[in-house]
Amino acid sequence: GNSVTQMEGPVTLSEEAFLTINCTYTATGYPSLFWYVQYPGEGLQLLLKATKADDKGSNKGFEATYRKETTSFHLEKGSVQVSDSAVYFCALLNSGGYQKVTFGTGTKLQVIP
Amino acid sequence: NAGVTQTPKFQVLKTGQSMTLQCAQDMNHEYMSWYRQDPGMGLRLIHYSVGAGITDQGEVPNGYNVSRSTTEDFPLRLLSAAPSQTSVYFCASSYSPLAGGRITGELFFGEGSRLTVL
């Protein structure tokens, strides 16, 4: 079946540090890949996505590249801000008929001034 | 600009009680789903619906019922609550622009309902 594995958190960084959150996946076919973000007390919202191999998704300074050869979709940001403190979820949607988005366990990021 | 609305936001139940979590969306999305969020386990799919009158099970459907009589509403029913159902529940919807009514994977979430079963 489909699965998503994320690095364990929490991740604590100082403001302006470089961020990487690792994500690998298992799926048949050619899934679409996503990063969602959950700010405290809120629901999840889509941060970025990539629908095919070598695509790069980007938004709000965050980037992730769909690497089929390593089945990875790592999230990066060059300079984090306190306002980036949140929980980040990697997710996939299989290209087959099943209409189910599978999420990883989430990685909590705390950015300190 | 309501989007996905969940009620109630907080609820405390006793073991064996029943209740319904409400979810409504005003974006005319065909696809709706319910997830539960537990520490260390991320989000797990309970049930989903690809349109009015059509529902299907997710990963963890036991103890929950759903129905979809309208495009807008997708209530989640707990018939006999158990402490293991203590969790935060999220409703999410999506439009289905692809062939065969398939979704793109971009889900729109409600703010969540925190349920405690004593």
Number of Cβ pairs < 8 A linking chain A and chain B: 58
pLDDT of residue A98: 64
The answer to whether A52 faces chain B, any CB pair under 8 Å, is no
Could B45 and A100 be called an inter-chain contact, meaning their C-beta atoms sit closer than 8 Å? yes
Q: Residue A8 — pLDDT band, cuts 50, 70, 90? A: confident
Q: What is the DSSP string of B24-50?
A: EESS--SEEEEEEEETTTEEEEEEEEE
Q: Which residues contact A36 (CB under 8 A, 6 or more apart)?
A: A44, A45, A46, A47, A88, A89, A91, A103, B107
For residue A58 the two structure tokens come to 């980007």
Contacts of B107 in chain A (CB under 8 A): 36, 44, 46, 101
Nearest chain A residue (CA) to B57? A100
Could A91 and B112 be called an inter-chain contact, meaning their C-beta atoms sit closer than 8 Å? no
Asked if residue B67 lies in contact with residue B80, where contact means CB atoms within 8 angstroms, the answer is no
Could B111 and A105 be called an inter-chain contact, meaning their C-beta atoms sit closer than 8 Å? no
Could A91 and B105 be called an inter-chain contact, meaning their C-beta atoms sit closer than 8 Å? yes
For residue B100, give the DSSP letter: G
Tell me the three state secondary structure of residue A82: helix
Could B106 and A41 be called an inter-chain contact, meaning their C-beta atoms sit closer than 8 Å? no
Asked if residue A80 lies in contact with residue A11, where contact means CB atoms within 8 angstroms, the answer is no
Asked if residue B109 lies in contact with residue A45, where contact means CB atoms within 8 angstroms, the answer is yes
Residue A2 has pLDDT above 70, yes or no: yes
pLDDT of residue B100: 67
Q: Which of A34-43, B55-64, B73-82, B94-103 has the lowest mean pLDDT?
A: B94-103
For residue A70, give the DSSP letter: T
pLDDT of residue B99: 62
The answer to whether A35 faces chain B, any CB pair under 8 Å, is no
For residue A68, give the DSSP letter: T
Count of beta carbons in the 10 Å neighbourhood of residue A32:
22
pLDDT of residue B96: 77
Chain A nearest-CA distance from B40, in A, is 6
The answer to whether B107 faces chain A, any CB pair under 8 Å, is yes
- Residues A35-62 have pLDDT tens digits of 999 999 899 999 999 999 999 999 999 9
Residue with tokens 């919807």: B93
Count of beta carbons in the 10 Å neighbourhood of residue A25:
21
Chain-centroid distance of CA A108 in Å reads: 11
Return d(Cα B75, Cα B25) in angstroms, integer.
11
Q: Which residues contact A112 (CB under 8 A, 6 or more apart)?
A: A12, A13, A14, A15, A82
